[in-house]
Amino acid sequence: MNMKRFCKRLAVLTGAGMAYAMSSLTVFAEEASGAAAEEPGAMMTLISTIALPLLMLAFLYFIMIRPQQKADKQAREMLKNIQVGDEVVSIGGIVGIVMRVEEATDTVVLETGGDRLKIRLKRDAIKEDITLNEAAEAEKAAKKKARMTPKSE
């Protein structure tokens, strides 16, 4: 399921949950004003009114916020670990090899194309480290191959 459709469904469910919570709050207020406020059902209504939005917030945190924080952390680590010789892709789609990393200005110098054109970019403008991705894929393939081959004793 694509992310746009998922977010729309999540928004609909969140809206429905909030509507339910507000109707429960209204019911609780009506019960509290009458003589029925002494019943144990009134306390359960209050708990369900508070618990449902809290559960929805926890759901949103674990489904949307936490994965985004993990992805941001991985991106920061990738940018921090860029080295000379890595093949990278910029946000604008420029593919090049890192020739120099300048820590003072937080920039990198890329060499692109056959004519050895050099471009200086901010480190934040790098979207992907191809060398790192290829190494990770090779490691995955090696692990998969090791799992598939039977061990002879």
Give the closest residue to 121 by CA, choosing from 83, 81, 77, 90: 90
This prediction has a pTM of 0.58
Give residue 35's pLDDT. Answer: 45
- Residues 37-83: tens digit of each pLDDT: 456 676 777 777 788 888 888 888 889 889 999 999 999 999 999 99
Q: In what order do the strands lie in the sheet with 87-90?
A: 117-122, 107-112, 95-102, 87-90, 126-129
| Burial of 143: CB neighbours in 10 Å, binned 0-12, 13-18, 19+ | exposed
Distance (Å, whole) CA 108 – CA 124: 10
Which whole number is the average pLDDT over 25-33? Answer: 55
Two tokens at 131? 């060398």
Question: Is 140 a residue whose pLDDT tops 80?
Answer: yes
Q: How confident is the model at residue 36 (pLDDT cuts 50, 70, 90)?
A: very low
Question: Is 19 a residue whose pLDDT tops 50?
Answer: yes
Give residue 49's pLDDT. Answer: 79
